[in-house]
Chains A and B, each alone.
Chain A
C-alpha cells in the first residue's frame, strides 16, 4: 500500500486518505459560455505529467495538496493549502 505524507500527520497508509481531485483552473461563472462550463464540469484532463491534487486525511479531516507524477505515481511533495493561495 502506498504511503502519503500528510503535512500535519506525517507518512500514513494511503487508505487513510480521500482524493478530492486535481486543482483546477477557476472559471469566472459570469463570463464563461455554456459549452465551456459543461466541459469544465464533466471533462477531466488526464495528461501525462505532474498534477497538484487535493487530498483529505480522513481521521483528522485535514485538507492539503500533493504534487503527483501521473506516469510513475510518485508523490513528489505535499503541502498545506495556504501555500497555494500565496502562489496564486
Chain B
C-alpha cells in the first residue's frame, strides 16, 4: 500500500472504506478517493493504453484534464479516473484495450510506428473505392480507436436547470480567485465563486503553503452572506454578455454575471524526451495532489526535473512523504541558489544544474518507469516529477475575446483581454508566486467593482513582478522517437516536424493534419510545445504561430445537462371536453388537439361518411376554434387590410364579409381567411390555424413600419368558433333564442351580424367552406361550451351531427376549396390557383403586387385543377404523386380523397397550364409506378354553380 498517514489526504475519509473493481480485480479505497488515486494507492499505475501505439499510460496531471486516464463505467464511457469518485461496488474497466490492459494484443503497434506516419488517416483511407471509408476503414478504426461503450439501457437520470444572477462571478477558487471574491463581496457586491474541485483553495489545498493561509481565507469567506461558493462546479464556457453555464453534477446553473473574474490558473506542461509517457512520469502538481489530497505516495525513489520554484517545493514535499529523492535535475545553469535549494541540499538531496532528462526507460513492456538518463548516465527511479513551466489556462479567457501572445523577454505565453467586464487574476494573468497571485486577484476585483460603481475599501498595491525570464525547454526530436508532444493522439516531435515539411505551416492546418490537440485534453498539455515545434521548424516566433481557437465547451459535458424538457406543447379548444364526451377520436394537428371523427376507431370510415352526408343533407356542427382570429381596429383599419391582402377592404361595406388572400413580397400565397367589417374602424379577420402566429407578427411588423392608425389584437385563444352548416342550418339557428334575423333576406351570404344567441354574445358570419348554407358563430371562449350545448339541443330535432376534421376536409375538397400549405407551396401565385377574382386590379399597392405582375410576365407554367377519378378506379395516386407531361413532371397531387356524395375519388393537382381546360386528360404516376390517366374538372366537383351555400 502506498498510503501515507494523516494529515496527508485532506480529501479522504479513512473511516469509510470503499470496495470496487478495476478490470475485474478487487480494489479498495476510501470515501473521497478518485478512481485514479485509489488505484495508485494499491500500486495500479497503468490505467489505459494509448490511442495509436497501445503503450501503457497512467496519471499525468491529476487535474481532471488528462487524456490517458479515461475509463469505462457500467453506464458511462470516457469517465476521467482522476475526477470520478469511487463508489461501493463500482465496476471500472480500461478503454482502448485489445485483450487485457495488462496484455494488450495491439501493443505490437508500438513496433510498427513507422508504418503509421503523421497524416496516416488522410493518406490511407481514401480508397480503393469511393465507399471504402464507410464500408471498410471506418468500422476498423472505430474498433481500434478504443473509445468507450455507450450503455443504451442506462437508467434515466434527473437533470435540472436553474438561473443564477450575480454582480461578480469568480471562476477558480485558488489564491487569486479567493482573494478576488472576498474583496468583491466585502465591498458589498453579490458574488458567486465557483471551482471544479470538491474544495476551495486551488494550489493552497495541495501546494507547499502554510495551511493557515487557506483557513484564514476560508473563515473570511464564511462570514460573507453575499458570497455564494459553488464547489464541484465546472464553468464550461463563456458566451456573449457574460452568460456562463456552471455545471454542478446534474445541475446546470445558467448564469448571468455583470462582471466576470477568471482566475482559472495555469496548466503545468510536460517535458519532451524519449519515453516521456511512461507510467511513473508525472507533473509536479500530480505528485503534490496525490500526496496532500489523497495521502498517496507517488513512488519510492524519485528524480525531480525542476526549472522553477514549484519544482523545488515538489522535491521537498516528496521528501516529507517519505519518497527518496535521488536527484533534482535543474536545466537552468545560472541563477542564485534560493532558500529552497539550500533547504534541499540540507536534506542531502543531490542537485545537478545545467542538465536535463535526456530519455527514460521502462520496465518490461514499458509498464512503469525504471530509469532516466541524465548527462549520459542512467539513474534508477520509479518516479519522475516534472516541473519545467506552465501555460495559462487560456480556454475561458479566449472564449471571452482574449488574445494569446508570447512575451519573448519573459519567455511566457500571455493572454490579453480587451477592456471590459471580463478580468483576469492570478496565474492565468501570468503571476508566479503567491503574493503576486493574491494582489492580482484583488486588482481584478477592484477593476470589476469600479465598473459596478462600488468603492473598494483599500486599493490593492501593485506588486512589481520580480521574476526573470522563464526556462524554455528546447524541443529536439529524439532519433529513436517516442518523444511525445501530444499524449492523447500519440504524436511525437518528428510527426509535427514532418507536417510542416509537408507544407502545413499554419497551426490550424498542423492541427487538422496531425490531429494535435484534438484529443480529450484539448491541447492543454500539447498546445505550447506544438507552437514551439512549428515555430522552430518554420523559422518564426511562438507569438506568430499562436494556438488554435478555443471554443466552448471547456470540458466534456453530459448530454443530459443540455437536454430540455420532454413535454410536448399542447393546445385544447374550449370545447375539448364536449368532444371527448361525444367519443371523438382526438388527434394533434400541430399543437392543437382536434376531433378527427366521432365514434370508435372500428367504425371510422362509416363515421366520416355519415358526418359528410349529414352536412350535405341535414346539418352538421364543427368546432373551428383553432382558426386564427384577429381584430383590426382604428381609423386606418381598411387601408391597413388593403395593403396586406389582395382584395379591396377600404370600401367594404359594414356588415359584409370578404375573402382575404395574403401574399408575401415574392408574390406567393401565404395565408387566407375572411374579413368581417363590424364597423367603419373595426374588422374581424380570420387566419389559418397554422399561420396565425406568423400573420399576427407580420401585421404588427407592418404596422410598426407603416405607422398607420391601427391596433391589432390576437383573439385566437380568447374566442371560439362553431360552424353550423347544412341545408337545415337556418332551422337550427331560428330555433335558438336570438336577436339576430337569420332569414335569407335579412342575413345574406357573405355578410356578418352581431348579437346574442342563447344568451351568448356572438359574431356570426355566413361563409361557406363546406359549400352548404353555413353560419359561423364566434363567441368568447368561456361561453363556448354553453353555446355548443344550446346548438346541439336545438339541432336534435333536425338530426344535427357534430363532425370532425376528416369530414371537413372531404367537404371542402368536394367544393375544390384550397387549404393553404396543403394545396399551395412556397411559390404558388394567385394565378396558379385561378384566384384572379381575388386580386384587386385597382389598388395601387399591396404586399406582393409588384412580384405577381412580374411573375405573370415571366409566364405561368402550372395551374391547380380538380381531377375526378372514374367510379371504381383501382389505382388512386396519393398526395405528392407526380403529374407527368411527355414523361416529365409538371406538377403533383396536393389533396386526394373519396367523395361519398359523388361516389368516387377526387383530387386537387397542379397540371401544366395548357392542360387546365375541362376534360383535358393528364397522366399521374401512382405510388407503385403505374401511370393513370385522369380527366380535369374545371369547376367544383359538387354543386358546380355554388347555389347551395347561398340559399
Question: Measured between C-beta atoms, what is the minimum distance from A19 to chain B in Å?
Answer: 11
> Cβ of A3: which chain B residues have Cβ within 8 Å of it?
240-241, 243, 256
Pairwise interchain contact A41-B704, C-beta atoms closer than 8 A: no
> Cβ of B700: which chain A residues have Cβ within 8 Å of it?
56, 61, 63
B665 at interface (Cβ–Cβ under 8 A)? yes
How long is the Cα–Cα vector from A55 to B845 in the complex, in angstroms? 25
Cβ-neighbour of B697 out of A29, A61, A81, A85 (below 8 A): A61
Cβ-neighbour of A18 out of B697, B704, B850 (below 8 A): B697
**Interface residues in chain B, defined as those with a beta carbon under 8 Å from any beta carbon in chain A:** 239-241, 243, 254, 256, 665-666, 696-697, 700-701, 703-705, 707, 845, 849-851, 854, 857
A34 at interface (Cβ–Cβ under 8 A)? yes
- Provide a sorted-by-A list of 15 A–B residue pairs whose CB atoms are within 8 angstroms: A1-B239, A1-B243, A3-B240, A3-B243, A29-B850, A32-B850, A37-B851, A37-B854, A38-B854, A54-B705, A56-B697, A61-B697, A73-B240, A81-B707, A85-B707
Pairwise interchain contact A37-B850, C-beta atoms closer than 8 A: yes
Pairwise interchain contact B701-A29, C-beta atoms closer than 8 A: no
A34-B857, A61-B697, A61-B700 are known; give 13 further A-B pairs, CB within 8 A. Answer: A1-B243, A2-B241, A2-B243, A3-B240, A3-B243, A29-B850, A32-B850, A37-B850, A37-B854, A54-B701, A56-B697, A61-B696, A63-B703
Interface centre among B243, B256, B700, B701 (most CB of A within 10 A): B701
Looking across the interface, which residue of chain B has its beta carbon closest to that of A27? Answer: B850
> Cβ of A29: which chain B residues have Cβ within 8 Å of it?
845, 849-850
A82 at interface (Cβ–Cβ under 8 A)? yes
> Cβ of B243: which chain A residues have Cβ within 8 Å of it?
1-3, 13
> Cβ of B696: which chain A residues have Cβ within 8 Å of it?
61
**Interface residues in chain A, defined as those with a beta carbon under 8 Å from any beta carbon in chain B:** 1-3, 13, 18, 20, 29-30, 32, 34, 37-38, 41, 54, 56, 61, 63-64, 73, 81-82, 85
> Cβ of B704: which chain A residues have Cβ within 8 Å of it?
54, 63-64, 81
How long is the Cα–Cα vector from A32 to B696 in the complex, in angstroms? 29
Pairs of residues from A and B, 5 with the lowest C-beta to C-beta distance, nearest first: A63-B704, A29-B850, A2-B240, A3-B241, A1-B243
> Cβ of B254: which chain A residues have Cβ within 8 Å of it?
1
How long is the Cα–Cα vector from A55 to B239 in the complex, in angstroms? 21
Question: Measured between C-beta atoms, what is the minimum distance from B716 to chain A in Å?
Answer: 13
Pairwise interchain contact A1-B701, C-beta atoms closer than 8 A: no
Looking across the interface, which residue of chain B has its beta carbon closest to that of A72? Answer: B401
> Cβ of B857: which chain A residues have Cβ within 8 Å of it?
34
Pairwise interchain contact B241-A34, C-beta atoms closer than 8 A: no
> Cβ of A37: which chain B residues have Cβ within 8 Å of it?
850-851, 854
Pairwise interchain contact A20-B241, C-beta atoms closer than 8 A: no
> Cβ of B240: which chain A residues have Cβ within 8 Å of it?
1-3, 73
Question: Measured between C-beta atoms, what is the minimum distance from B742 to chain A in Å?
Answer: 37
Question: Measured between C-beta atoms, what is the minimum distance from A17 to chain B in Å?
Answer: 12
Looking across the interface, which residue of chain A has its beta carbon closest to that of B418? Answer: A72
Cβ-neighbour of A20 out of B239, B701, B845, B850 (below 8 A): B701
Pairwise interchain contact A41-B707, C-beta atoms closer than 8 A: no
Pairwise interchain contact A1-B697, C-beta atoms closer than 8 A: no
How long is the Cα–Cα vector from A61 to B700 in the complex, in angstroms? 7
Question: Measured between C-beta atoms, what is the minimum distance from B445 to chain A in Å?
Answer: 23
Question: Measured between C-beta atoms, what is the minimum distance from A25 to chain B in Å?
Answer: 13
Pairwise interchain contact A41-B239, C-beta atoms closer than 8 A: no
How long is the Cα–Cα vector from A63 to B239 in the complex, in angstroms? 25
How long is the Cα–Cα vector from A54 to B240 in the complex, in angstroms? 20
> Cβ of A73: which chain B residues have Cβ within 8 Å of it?
240
Looking across the interface, which residue of chain B has its beta carbon closest to that of A21? Answer: B701
> Cβ of A85: which chain B residues have Cβ within 8 Å of it?
707
How long is the Cα–Cα vector from A36 to B707 in the complex, in angstroms? 26
Looking across the interface, which residue of chain A has its beta carbon closest to that of B703? Answer: A63
Cβ-neighbour of A41 out of B241, B666, B701, B849 (below 8 A): B666
Looking across the interface, which residue of chain A has its beta carbon closest to that of B665? Answer: A41
Cβ-neighbour of A63 out of B701, B850, B851 (below 8 A): B701
How long is the Cα–Cα vector from A82 to B665 in the complex, in angstroms? 23
How long is the Cα–Cα vector from A2 to B845 in the complex, in angstroms? 38
> Cβ of B854: which chain A residues have Cβ within 8 Å of it?
34, 37-38
> Cβ of B851: which chain A residues have Cβ within 8 Å of it?
37, 41
> Cβ of A61: which chain B residues have Cβ within 8 Å of it?
696-697, 700
> Cβ of B850: which chain A residues have Cβ within 8 Å of it?
29-30, 32, 37
Looking across the interface, which residue of chain A has its beta carbon closest to that of B239? Answer: A1
Pairwise interchain contact A56-B849, C-beta atoms closer than 8 A: no
How long is the Cα–Cα vector from A29 to B697 in the complex, in angstroms? 24
How long is the Cα–Cα vector from A18 to B700 in the complex, in angstroms? 13
How long is the Cα–Cα vector from A59 to B705 in the complex, in angstroms? 19
> Cβ of A34: which chain B residues have Cβ within 8 Å of it?
854, 857
Pairwise interchain contact B665-A81, C-beta atoms closer than 8 A: no
Pairwise interchain contact A82-B845, C-beta atoms closer than 8 A: no
Question: Measured between C-beta atoms, what is the minimum distance from B628 to chain A in Å?
Answer: 14
Pairwise interchain contact B239-A81, C-beta atoms closer than 8 A: no
> Cβ of A81: which chain B residues have Cβ within 8 Å of it?
704-705, 707
How long is the Cα–Cα vector from A35 to B704 in the complex, in angstroms? 28
Question: Measured between C-beta atoms, what is the minimum distance from A51 to chain B in Å?
Answer: 16
> Cβ of B705: which chain A residues have Cβ within 8 Å of it?
54, 63, 81
> Cβ of B845: which chain A residues have Cβ within 8 Å of it?
29
How long is the Cα–Cα vector from A20 to B701 in the complex, in angstroms? 8
How long is the Cα–Cα vector from A29 to B852 in the complex, in angstroms? 12
Question: Measured between C-beta atoms, what is the minimum distance from A58 to chain B in Å?
Answer: 8
How long is the Cα–Cα vector from A61 to B703 in the complex, in angstroms? 11
How long is the Cα–Cα vector from A32 to B705 in the complex, in angstroms? 21
Looking across the interface, which residue of chain A has its beta carbon closest to that of B858? Answer: A34
> Cβ of A63: which chain B residues have Cβ within 8 Å of it?
700-701, 703-705
How long is the Cα–Cα vector from A13 to B665 in the complex, in angstroms? 30
Looking across the interface, which residue of chain A has its beta carbon closest to that of B163? Answer: A13
Question: Measured between C-beta atoms, what is the minimum distance from B898 to chain A in Å?
Answer: 41
How long is the Cα–Cα vector from A32 to B704 in the complex, in angstroms? 24
Looking across the interface, which residue of chain B has its beta carbon closest to that of A29? Answer: B850
> Cβ of A82: which chain B residues have Cβ within 8 Å of it?
707
Looking across the interface, which residue of chain B has its beta carbon closest to that of A3? Answer: B241
Looking across the interface, which residue of chain B has its beta carbon closest to that of A18? Answer: B697
How long is the Cα–Cα vector from A17 to B256 in the complex, in angstroms? 18
> Cβ of A38: which chain B residues have Cβ within 8 Å of it?
854
How long is the Cα–Cα vector from A1 to B257 in the complex, in angstroms? 11
